Amino acid sequence: MKRAWERNAVLATVMIGIMAVPGWAASPKMKMTTDIPPGIAIPESVETRLGELKFFDGFPDKPTVEKIYNNLDFQRAVQAYLLALAPVNMTGLREGLLKVGPANVTIPTFEDNMNARSIFLTANATTPYTWVWINLHDGPLVAEVPPMTLGMIDDFWFRYVTDIGIVGPDKGKGGKYLLLPPGYKGEVPEGYLVVRVPTFESILVWRNMPVKGDIKPAIENLKKFTRIYPLSQAANPPANVFVNVSNRDFSTVAAADYKFWELLNYVVQNEPVESLDPVTLGFFASIGIEKGKPFAPDARMKKILTEAAAVGDATARTITYQSRIPAAFYYPNSTWRQWLGGYRFQSQPGVSYLDAAAFFYFYATGVTPAMEEKMVGKGSQYAAGIVDSQGAPLNGGNTYRLHVLPNAPAKDFWSAIVYDNQTRSMLQTDQDYPQVSSLDKGLVVNADGSVDVYFGPNAPDGKENNWIQTVPGKGWNMLFRLYGPLEPWFDKTWKLSEIELIQ
């Protein structure tokens, strides 16, 4: 059966054949004829990137209709891909964590620092994480968190919901959070830090902060104070399962191929329409992903979606690795990238910063003001090193140096961690931890207090403790992190040197 637009195009072709006679070549001067201003009428033939488009007096012929709709579906699919990076990023976390154990019950924790074996988007190797997948489909949930954490809750669209821990409502003392599902109208008991989560599924994640470099007290507190259970069972909470996922070979990075659309469809089907804006949901619906309806693209649409996923992934990589936005760079004439648009990814209040969101959701995990806003002595700040001082891609076969000037503005510590350009996860080499940190024992500090960090396939003599291994034939990038950033970072009186090629 022909689609409506195909039937109309056939009819249009017939009509053109009937009417395309010399008498119809130009409109006659009629009683009510006036001059049509330029730019309103379309020519009979228009050359575009789609090829030649043909019209009879403004009406498209059949080949034009086919080209236009194929292009429209492709355009919307690419934009839908970029808009969906956030929820699909979350589905990657969901798939990986649920392989460890069921939602709500299981508390996966890196009891040692995460190493390169686990595939997580730009995770750190300095403060061990706890990741909990939350599911509120069965009603409110209580999350008791331990003291001295730094974390957040993000919803299934990967939007910030609340901080927990040091910069959250519990102020680092720990506490009982009551997570309420969308549309909850039941009784809200007293004695809880109440959080209304816009989606049924979400991520609860925090860093367990070491005590004078020792993680053991934090892990002991974690197991002593952490409990997650339904509010309905608050009088007799069921036991949780603590799983040590250190050195675990598993992935929480989502697929970027056709499976991307299937992952997006899961989120759309399982979350309230009210939890996302109509325009974004409209993009998803325009390509066949709409709540309450089966996602069943025909062969034409599946081909378009497959290509759109490839172009979407290529677009996200280009926005991330070759930004064209001057404000994306932390200093003038520098290569260091920074987050843009705040934790809401807006160029100004009420205006989405599309490229900023695409960069972040392709590259990173965890949305919170504590990773972006100015909080002197609290939270963290980031600078992304994507290229060397000359703007060239970082090549694993070369040797580079980062000169960290004295008095790095970090109350707690700084770290430099290397990531794989493909997975955006820690670069997998012979080193467990592809990082150098100011906390490292044996770190070589120069006489003036500065530190040189080296990147390359082989360590420079005597600099083994200051060296991060790279792999010939592979590209890489890095994040420089400041924990407890101080004023000189924000006012830029202290500057991060460029990554210099030395061999």
Instruction: Give a yes or no: residue 62 inside a domain.
Output: no
| b/e map 350-360, b = 16+ CB within 10 Å | eebbebbbbbb
Domain boundary among 218, 244, 270: 244
Instruction: Give a yes or no: residue 403 inside a domain.
Output: yes
Q: Are residues 233 and 379 in the same domain?
A: no
Determine the pLDDT at residue 26: 62
C-alpha dihedral over 57, 59, 65, 68, to 10 degrees?
70
Q: Are residues 328 and 444 in the same domain?
A: yes
Shortest CA distance to 240 belongs to which of 382, 377, 133?
A: 133
- The residue segments making up the domain with residue 179 are 101-244
DSSP-H helix ranges across 240-397: 259-270, 278-286, 299-321, 354-363
CA 457 vs. chain centroid, Å, equals 29
Condensed to tens digits (0 to 9), the pLDDT of residues 253-307 reads: 999 999 999 999 999 999 999 999 999 999 999 999 999 999 999 999 999 999 9
- The total domain count for the chain is 2
182: domain CATH number is 2.60.40.1610
Domain boundary among 196, 229, 244: 244
Between the alpha carbon of residue 305 and those of residues 6, 139, 297, 452, the distances in Å are: 21, 36, 9, 46
Determine the pLDDT at residue 372: 84
Instruction: Give a yes or no: residue 441 inside a domain.
Output: yes
Q: Quick check: helix, strand or coil at residue 137? A: coil
Instruction: Give a yes or no: residue 37 inside a domain.
Output: no
Q: Which residues of the chain have pLDDT under 50?
A: 1, 9-25
Q: Element (H or E) spanning 487, and its range?
A: helix 487-490
Residue 238 and residue 325: Cα distance in Å, rounded? Answer: 51
Q: Quick check: helix, strand or coil at residue 117? A: coil
Determine the pLDDT at residue 180: 98
**Contact, 251 vs 96, CB < 8 A?**
yes
Phi, psi of 164 (to 5 degrees): -130, 160
Instruction: Give a yes or no: residue 429 inside a domain.
Output: yes
Instruction: Give a yes or no: residue 7 inside a domain.
Output: no
Q: Are residues 123 and 221 in the same domain?
A: yes
Q: Are residues 130 and 236 in the same domain?
A: yes
Instruction: Give a yes or no: residue 308 inside a domain.
Output: no
Instruction: Give a yes or no: residue 480 inside a domain.
Output: yes
Q: Are residues 335 and 224 in the same domain?
A: no
Q: Are residues 489 and 363 in the same domain?
A: yes
Q: Are residues 213 and 343 in the same domain?
A: no
**Contact, 93 vs 158, CB < 8 A?**
no
Long-range contact set of residues 319-326: C-beta below 8 Å, sequence gap at least 24: 319/355, 319/358, 319/359, 319/362, 320/358, 320/359, 320/362, 320/363, 320/386, 321/386, 321/387, 321/393, 321/421, 321/477, 323/355, 323/359, 325/355
**Structure tokens that stand for 193 in this block:** 């830090």
Q: Are residues 436 and 338 in the same domain?
A: yes
Phi, psi of 250 (to 5 degrees): -155, 165
373: domain CATH number is 2.60.120.600
Determine the pLDDT at residue 337: 95
Tallying the residues shown for the chain, one arrives at: 503
Q: What pTM, to 2 d.p., does this model score?
A: 0.92
Domain boundary among 205, 226, 244: 244
